[in-house]
């Protein structure tokens, strides 16, 4: 057959080549009329799947991969959901156990997909994944993917549980090509954590691939090529080789400072939600944490967290940061991170916390108590104006008195995430101790884009209007002698690193997996050239033109250095 190129959506960057391993929608289902024995078999299958997920979560937790472990724990709870078990039992009274499980999980998945909340709808793949695993158990099939050679998994969709067990097959799974799926799904989060390319939304044609057919997958471009021709295959294999070489080279520079070729120091921090991510960031050479998210532990709770609950969630991560920078962001509830007890709210971020001062104080006390041994910074999300910041400082002062804090108070920072806040950056900076720019929301609010789209952090973040807002914030920080950091996803993308350094950003806080690449870029560029490119980019006609200016800076490397290494963050083509 001649090569077939299919286009989808990038969900995790990287290039991979392997043989197609098809995860079929259909599973052998024993025919039967149901009854007590089928009910027992169905219940046992769900119980066994829950136990498998629990064991896999524990292995991940032991390996320090706490975020992935929590995803599997959430899936384990789904398998133990009484409502699902009740429906399975009702169906298994009339039909075979495997059929009952698949019907029940499909109905629950369809209900999730019908919800207006995009993140909840994305959990449908998790539920279907549970059904497939239980059906495989009932059919006597293995529940784990186990290819004998490098493979690209092809499926309609996939749950995170299958991904979490990839380490058990010797790294032979190289990437995923899905007919459906979303860039914000648990599977996408897992793929990015594992460093494996994932392309979603390829359509039904990807399911026509033959088992063992050669596949070239480009997670950055969002494409999958079946039976690639010689030229295409050679190009993909060359990129795969460059990826490996670049990763080794970047990792070797972890002990080196992030200083530009003309002597400008850029501080590198990491974004984290868990102790595992903090540990990974420090191992990759981060100076500390530039963004510790605090709301993710409470998205399923039934009420505002107490002092003790906040402390329990914070302590493991902050214990690793003794003597280091720990930037703890207060609760950023609202929008796509709304727990059940806040359903229907319209406020978000700091405004929401200020509307509940007693609950806000509880978190501030916990931050102070658990972060006392760190170089603590408290970061406020979605600050709108100086008045909000002043009210938050008053509550922080009150919390300081109640915990008997010794020494100077922690630095209080404002996240600038909207055009309106950027326009008020001068007045906000006058009340703040440092500024932080959240590019994900800044892009969304400036351009009206979905903040979860991959391009929202690459090309859209290079839009001259967005860059102009960043320049406003940096100017205000300089006038008030404040440090300014960028902690959005843009800080980890190669061309945007150039523009951010050029605009004068002091600190870049990125995912642990991006630290090596960002350090490499900083050390290979000239700050003066980056500043010139940034000036041109702010005045450019388009994001494409702005990126071209950054590309020029990236292309001027020292003799003997591979230009591909400098560009492998561009658009996520190489990760």
323: left (phi over 0), alpha (psi -120 to 50) or beta: left
Q: Which of 375, 383, 379 is nearest to 364 (CA)?
A: 379
Nearest to 127 by CA among 154, 157, 89, 168: 157
Q: Is 487 a catalytic residue?
A: yes
Number of neighbours of residue 377 by Cβ within 10 angstroms: 25
DSSP class per residue in 33-68: ---HHHHHHHHHHHHHHHHHHHHHHHHHHHTT-HHH
Q: Which residue is it, tokens 């033959």?
A: 210
Widest distance between CA atoms in the chain: 77
Identify the residue whose tokens are 């959240």: 438
- Show the CA angle centred on residue 77, arms to residues 76 and 78, nearest 5°: 90
Q: What is the DSSP string of 102-142?
A: HHHHHHHHHHHHTSS-HHHHTTHHHHHHHHHHHHHHHTT--
Residues facing residue 269 across a β-bridge: 509
Asked whether the beta carbons of 574 and 220 are under 8 A apart, the reply is: yes
Q: Are 246 and 265 in contact (CB under 8 A)?
A: no
Task: Give Cα separations from 8 to 12, 128, 157, 206, 222 (angstroms).
Answer: 12, 21, 13, 10, 5
How far is 55 from 66, CA to CA, in rounded Å?
Answer: 13
Is position 270 annotated as part of the catalytic site? no
Q: From 390, 463, 469, select the one nearest 424 (Cα to Cα).
A: 469
Which is catalytic among the residues 27, 108, 186, 469?
Answer: 186
Are 92 and 39 in contact by the 8 Å Cβ rule? The answer is yes
- 484 pairs with which residues across the strands? 435
Residue of 385, 362, 377 lying closest to 328 (CA atoms): 377
Phi, psi of 373 (to 5 degrees): -90, 0
Rounded Cα–Cα distance for residues 524 and 400 (Å): 43
Residues with Cβ within 8 Å of 551's Cβ and at least 6 positions away in sequence, in order, are 495, 567, 570
Burial class of residue 515 in the structure, from the number of CB atoms within 10 Å of its CB (0-12 exposed, 13-18 middle, 19+ buried)? buried
- Reduced to 3 states (helix: H, G, I; strand: E, B; else coil), residue 200 is strand
Active-site residue, selected from the candidate residues 27, 310, 469, 487 = 487
Q: What does each C-alpha distance from 186 to 72, 118, 119, 183 come to in angstroms?
A: 9, 12, 9, 9
On whether the CB atoms of residues 145 and 125 are closer than 8 A, the answer is no
Residues that are catalytic: 186, 487
């Amino acid at each position: 057959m001649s090569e077939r190129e299919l286009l989808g959506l990038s969900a995790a960057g990287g290039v991979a080549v392997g043989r197609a391993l098809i995860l079929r929608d259909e599973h052998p289902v024993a025919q039967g009329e149901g009854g007590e024995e089928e009910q027992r078999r169905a219940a046992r299958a769900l119980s066994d799947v829950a136990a498998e997920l629990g064991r896999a979560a524990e292995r991940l937790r032991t390996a320090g991969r706490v975020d992935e472990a929590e995803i599997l724990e959430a899936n384990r709870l789904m398998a133990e959901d009484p409502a699902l078990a009740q429906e399975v039992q009702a169906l298994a009274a009339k039909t075979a156990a495997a059929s009952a499980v698949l019907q029940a999980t499909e109905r629950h998945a369809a209900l999730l997909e019908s919800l207006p909340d995009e993140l909840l709808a994305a959990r449908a793949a998790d539920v279907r994944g549970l059904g497939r695993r239980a059906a495989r158990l009932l059919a006597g099939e293995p529940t784990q993917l186990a290819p004998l050679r490098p493979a690209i998994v092809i499926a309609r969709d996939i749950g995170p549980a299958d991904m979490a067990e990839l380490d058990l097959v010797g790294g032979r799974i190289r990437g995923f090509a899905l007919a459906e799926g979303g860039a914000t799904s648990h599977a996408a989060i897992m793929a990015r954590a594992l460093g494996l390319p994932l392309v979603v939304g390829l359509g039904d044609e990807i399911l026509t691939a033959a088992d063992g057919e050669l596949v070239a997958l480009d997670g950055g471009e969002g494409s999958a090529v079946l039976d690639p021709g010689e030229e295409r295959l050679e190009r993909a294999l060359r990129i795969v080789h460059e990826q490996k070489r670049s990763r080794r080279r970047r990792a070797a520079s972890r002990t080196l400072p992030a200083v530009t070729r003309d002597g400008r120091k850029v501080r590198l921090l990491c974004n984290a939600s868990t102790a595992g991510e903090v540990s990974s960031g420090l191992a990759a050479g981060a100076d500390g944490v530039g963004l510790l998210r605090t709301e993710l532990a409470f998205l399923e709770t039934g009420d505002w967290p107490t002092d003790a609950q906040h402390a329990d969630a914070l302590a493991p991560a902050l214990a690793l940061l003794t003597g280091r920078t720990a930037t703890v962001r207060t609760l950023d509830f609202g929008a796509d991170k709304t727990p059940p007890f806040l359903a229907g709210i319209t406020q978000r971020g700091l405004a929401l916390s200020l509307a509940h001062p007693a609950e806000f104080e509880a978190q501030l006390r916990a931050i102070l108590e658990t972060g006392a041994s760190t170089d603590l910074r408290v970061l406020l999300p979605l600050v709108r104006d100086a008045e909000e910041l002043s009210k938050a400082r008053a509550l922080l002062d009150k919390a300081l008195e109640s915990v008997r804090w010794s020494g100077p108070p922690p630095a209080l920072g404002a996240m600038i995430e909207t055009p309106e806040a950027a326009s008020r950056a001068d007045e906000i900076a006058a009340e703040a101790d440092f500024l932080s720019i959240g590019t994900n929301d800044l892009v969304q609010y400036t351009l009206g884009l979905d903040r979860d789209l991959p391009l929202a952090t690459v090309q859209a973040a290079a839009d001259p209007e967005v860059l102009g807002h960043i320049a406003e914030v940096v100017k205000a920080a300089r006038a008030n002698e404040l440090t300014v950091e960028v902690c959005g996803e843009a800080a980890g993308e190669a061309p945007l690193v150039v523009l951010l350094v050029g605009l004068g950003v002091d600190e870049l806080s990125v995912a642990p997996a991006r630290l090596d690449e960002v350090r490499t870029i900083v050390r290979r560029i000239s700050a003066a050239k980056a500043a010139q490119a940034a000036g041109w980019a702010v005045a450019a006609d388009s994001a494409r033109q702005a990126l071209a200016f950054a590309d020029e800076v990236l292309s001027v490397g020292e003799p003997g250095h591979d230009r591909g290494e400098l560009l492998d963050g561009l658009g996520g083509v190489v990760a």
